[in-house]
Amino acid sequence: MTTQDITRAKKLTEVKVVSRTDITPDLLTMWIEKPGGYTFKPGQYCTIGLDGIERAYSIVSAPHEESLELFVELVPPPIGNLTPKLWELKPGDSVTIRPRAKGVFVMDPGPPNQFLVSTVTGVVPYVSIIRDYLYHGRQGNGFYVLLGASYVDEFVYDGEFTRLSREHPDLITYVPTISRPAEERNAGWRGETGRVNTIVERYTEELGLAPEDTLVYACGHPGMIEDVKERMLPRGFRVEEERFWKQD
Ligand SMILES: Cc1cc2nc3c(=O)[nH]c(=O)nc-3n(C[C@H](O)[C@H](O)[C@H](O)COP(=O)(O)OP(=O)(O)OC[C@H]3O[C@@H](n4cnc5c(N)ncnc54)[C@H](O)[C@@H]3O)c2cc1C
């Protein structure tokens, strides 16, 4: 079967890469065309592919935006299969996209406090959820975004969250934390330190967030998610999760 046969059989659409920004050697953001009629809920993922290899990518952009924004981490060869191919792409090249976005890691607006925990690319669903919330001028929830990374340059949406937390201090609290503060790449860092999962209890206590009115979301690294659940479930918190890969 040729790539074109596979594309037809799976009802895939070919879309063009609009632009890409290389953040570090293993992190990039990419904008791809949104097929006509393509709909999704903030927090859902699209399935894109190249040469018949398809993978899930949560969507950074909110539904009202013109293109689909993705934030991708390279899994280098020989382990990674699709991401090394994505790294070769330039604007104008094509990828396939499945007709429907999927996923249940979407906002439950019921609990007033939305406690959003993630590592690096795990921030993606939260960016979409918050952009959409602000776009529609919704009210009634507070977002607490705890974001972990090894290095400060991996906080790709740092500028956006810092600005939003200044513009909407009652709506958004943003806490980035780095796990390797002693390394040269993090020189000058004055923020929180330690793995994000190790600061969740302290922050819920300091912020006065009670289990009855707080929903915890954990997205990204499977080890981080397990640890967040081990810490928060016994305290009575509900935890929603999205794992980006399986731990070996
Ligand atoms: C619902 C969902 C949403 C996702 N959203 C994103 C996203 O927004 N951005 C993003 O970069 N990825 C995301 N992923 C992961 C993505 O689907 C791919 O698995 C990833 O990009 C690696 O693809 P690959 O083909 O290069 O490697 P694969 O061939 O899929 O993986 C090879 C091996 O590497 C492991 N692995 C996969 N990803 C990582 C990683 N990041 N770090 C360490 N080991 C890994 C896998 O478990 C596997 O053992 C998501 C996954 C799911 C299930």
pTM over the 0.75 mark: yes
pLDDT along the chain (248 residues), means of 10: 68 96 98 97 98 97 98 96 98 97 98 98 98 97 98 97 97 98 96 97 97 98 97 98 89
Q: Report the residue among 95, 219, 245 best suited for mutation to probe ligand 1: largest number of ligand atoms under 8 A from its CB.
A: 245
Atom of ligand 1 nearest to the CA of 83: 26
Ligand 1: lining residues by beta carbon, under 6 Å: 45, 55-58, 71-73, 75, 79-83, 103, 121, 124, 242, 244-246
35's tokens: 């097929």
pLDDT number for residue 10: 73
pLDDT at residue 16 in the model: 98
User: What is the 3-state secondary structure of 20-45?
Assistant: EEEEECCEEEEEECCCCCCCCCCCCE
Pocket perturbation via mutation, ligand 1, pick of 95, 244, 247 by most ligand atoms within 8 A of CB: 244
Cα 123 to averaged position of ligand 1 atoms, centre (Å): 14
Q: Residue 41: its pLDDT value, please?
A: 98
Give SS3 for 225: helix
